[in-house]
Amino acid sequence: MKKAVFKMWMPLALLATPLALLAQQNKVVKSITVKGSVEFTDPKQPENKVWLMKESLGGKPTAVDSVLLGPDKKFTFHLKQDHQGVYTINTFNWDRVSFWSDGDVKVDMRGYDTAFYKVKIPHYTFVEGSSDNNFINQYVLNSEFNYRRSIDDYNAAYFAKKSTDTNYTHYLNTRRVYSPINEDYDTRQEILMRVYKGRPVTIYAIRGMAGTQAGEKYDKAMALLEELIVKYPWLTEAKELKQTIIYNTNQAKRLKNGQPMPSVKYPTPEGPLASLDQYKGKWLLVDFWASWCGPCRQAIPLVKELYEKYKDKGFTVASISIDTDNNAWRKAMKEENMPWLQLLSDNKDNTMKEFQFSGIPTMYLIDPAGNIADRYTGFSEETAAKVKATIEKGAAPKKATTSIPMSGF
């Protein structure tokens, strides 16, 4: 009997770089047109504005143009630039989509989210543009599918713990999967990087590859970045990104467990600045949150339970909001009625940079000596249990804890 033969095929476009793409390799595109539409507008606002933002990849995006949506809910930007790069279309400071600016683009966006709790549930937005722009299209799709799968896995494990169906629990604990979620994601992104190897648009991915720990991934990301710096002298964002990665690495070292919590001062609801130094001698849970963040507000009851149980045992909480809308912050505080110190970041971007987070809620547990005991990204019942155990034992765990879901921006 003949053995079965399985053949694999790939489109020629993935096996060889098209000649047209090679011809564009060092061409600098000076101007493009950006067109789009928005499905949902903010009903509470008399005017709905769309911004075109230039991503520096090393700091805060810069607004280069803006337009008010008309009755047709469409927008057009005529972008003039020194060189192509990563840009983001920002609708009402809520929905955002990024693209590579080496050709005209067109996009249909969802726009405003009318939910009471605004949670960043990904809805994929395809941007019609150049061949290089499709790198961002595919990269974002991989990332969003990975996020959705992680939520599914988290929910399955959560409800299995509460279920009385032992067969279901046994299946989840013993099932065999083709590849773990993180390995599957890494494989997809690695293949994408190989297909677009050496292209300037890969800087969009490199910014998230290095991490903050020395090692193989860090060295690989920095090597790819150096290649872009040499190959494309006009890509100034590559040099900026290198400096940002170096800064983040150094800052992460300062935020490791056992290191002193940075001394900061932020405005209180009454106006005067207040610092966290006043809580030395106590266990302190520092909660970075925002009024619009669903997971942040869902975590508040769990934090209240911790506070009520341990407030007489040397434990307290301080919430630091990254809201940019003062009224929304005050409204949320009144609704949640949190009986501990409330502070408002006077510069969201600097706060996120200093404390090295891109998603909320992010919390730091500080020991009575003022040192970082642990860090939590997201907050669940399991996380609350770890905080309890740390306080009761009086010893800090060695590893920072991550719990999903969380809200990014």
Long-range contacts of 3-6 (CB under 8 A, 24+ apart): none
Long-range contacts of 329-332 (CB under 8 A, 24+ apart): 329/290, 329/291, 330/269, 331/291, 332/291, 332/297
Name the residue among 87, 95, 83 with its Cα closest to residue 64.
87
pLDDT of 152 reads 79
pLDDT of 244 reads 86
Structure tokens at 245: 């990665």
Write out pLDDT tens, residues 209-229.
876 665 678 888 899 999 999
pLDDT grade for 122, boundaries at 50, 70 and 90: low
Residue 363: CB atoms within 10 A of its CB come to: 27
Write out pLDDT tens, residues 349-359.
899 989 988 88
| pLDDT-above-90 percentage for the chain | 53
Write down the pTM of the prediction. 0.63
Catalogue all structural domains in the chain, each as residue range(s) with its CATH number. 29-115 (2.60.40.10), 137-254 (no CATH), 265-408 (3.40.30.10)
Write out pLDDT tens, residues 254-292.
999 999 999 999 999 998 999 999 999 999 999 999 999
